[in-house]
Structure 1
């Protein structure tokens, strides 16, 4: 009787670790052929096969030396990737051919990359939180909340850089913190804002102009007062 059992599993693995992908749990003594069919994210493909009758392994287009059998395929036809890289994203399917039918198990492999998180104050008086080259894209939130613009930049290796730029116009905000949420772990950074962020929402250059105008007005008033005092003494 011809039988077919198909199952698909989503598998997320951190970059630079080892991944092990298993075939269906079939009695190995009944397996005639075990085959791994791999389709990578860039649509390139690779096939690894083992035939029990002549104890032979065969590869087709498999040039990545990081993808190997876990051990002897007659003992364990599982596949391993060591170490995992972003180029290993894709579909991996193991098919076991037996006298009782063919059995398959498939994986969708997603490689996770933690982003590099930085927080700094920019020259125009805003605060910038960046989660660089993460996979998948990270999420950024602020404390306290401000007026923010978030941008994403996608890279060829599947990673994404997320940058959030915030200002707090009309509020006195001496300290801010940004929280980056990611499947590989969360991170929070804090920053003491310098004079570049105006208390009343003015940029640093505008505040300097205002201070100069106030000082000039003070000097004018002082000159007028001194002149009047001198005039009174003359009288």
Structure 2
């Protein structure tokens, strides 16, 4: 009887299969929470891309929140040191390492946007606006890319072929010809970071139409036409070769005629 009572009080052993299943459920739930958290963080801290032409102005805005106590712009360019602008409640402003070109667009107590005047290549980089109020901290991230318009040149080479060039920093320009050319553009990179795209027009027939070079770029769409003829230097070289050939032929003919005439005199004294 005692033994049966003790047996009645014993706990039923847990099956290893049930334990493994429970751990698997817990693991799946934890992994789902991690994924959701990661997605939320990534979406909240996504980077907005801003493009500005070299020499123009660029404006970046902050999150629109109410009753802010502080707003800060943190700037980390690709080259050079970081800088920051801060505005605290009570109209107190702080400025650290920023040039005069980088400033508030207006009065930060009602407009927290940042403005960069005369954008340069050194301004490329990451910009973060942090706004603080009683509900917490809010961030807005930007990445600024500076675009440089290509320098275009169209000329005739020594053989009378049209050549089109487009030099820029980035991105590289694209070149087309009208009418269509058989050549393939060549891109040459330089130590100063620029890329020159060169295309030489080659076509079997232009139907009397002057070749037109079309340069396409994010900051430029330009077309130029040119009519090329053999250059004077090219003509002079060919003329000199032809005249030289005539002189040689004339000299050889004179020698041959002289020998032939002397031979006839010997046979007919």
Asked if the contact 1:128–1:163 (Cα under 8 Å) also holds between the matched residues in 2, the reply is: no
**TM-score under structure 2 length normalisation:** 0.65
**TM-score under structure 1 length normalisation:** 0.73
Counterparts of 2:198 and 2:191 in 1: how far apart (Å)? 18
Post-superposition offset of 1:13: 1.5
Residue aligning to 2:75: 38
Question: Per chain length, whose mean CA-contact separation is higher, i.e. which structure has more relative contact order (CA < 8 Å, sep 6+)?
Answer: 1
When residues 210 and 165 of structure 1 are mapped into structure 2, their CA distance, relative to the original with a 3 A threshold, is farther
Post-superposition offset of 1:168: 2.6
Counterparts of 1:108 and 1:36 in 2: how far apart (Å)? 13
Residue aligning to 1:163: 197
Q: Secondary structure at the match of 1:120?
A: strand
When residues 177 and 204 of structure 1 are mapped into structure 2, their CA distance, relative to the original with a 3 A threshold, is farther
Residue aligning to 1:24: 63
Deviates most, 99-108 or 145-154:
145-154
Residue aligning to 1:59: 95
Asked if the contact 1:126–1:165 (Cα under 8 Å) also holds between the matched residues in 2, the reply is: no
Post-superposition offset of 1:10: 0.8
Post-superposition offset of 1:190: 1.2
Q: Secondary structure at the match of 2:132?
A: strand
Structure 1 residue runs of 5 or longer lacking an equivalent are 197-202, 224-235
Post-superposition offset of 1:26: 1.0
What is the number of residues matched between the two proteins?
Answer: 208
When residues 205 and 151 of structure 1 are mapped into structure 2, their CA distance, relative to the original with a 3 A threshold, is farther
Q: Which has the larger radius of gyration?
A: 2
Post-superposition offset of 1:130: 1.5
Post-superposition offset of 1:93: 0.7
Residue aligning to 1:127: 162
Task: After the TM superposition, list the runs of 4 or more consecutive aligned residues in structure 1 that deviate by more than 4 angstroms.
Answer: 203-220
Asked if the contact 1:33–1:96 (Cα under 8 Å) also holds between the matched residues in 2, the reply is: yes
Post-superposition offset of 1:218: 10
Structure 2 residue runs of 5 or longer lacking an equivalent are 1-39, 255-269
Residue aligning to 1:85: 120
Post-superposition offset of 1:17: 2.0
Q: Secondary structure at the match of 2:127?
A: strand
Residue aligning to 2:48: 9
Post-superposition offset of 1:212: 4.9
Name whichever structure is richer in helix by fraction.
2
- C-alpha RMSD of the superposition: 3.3
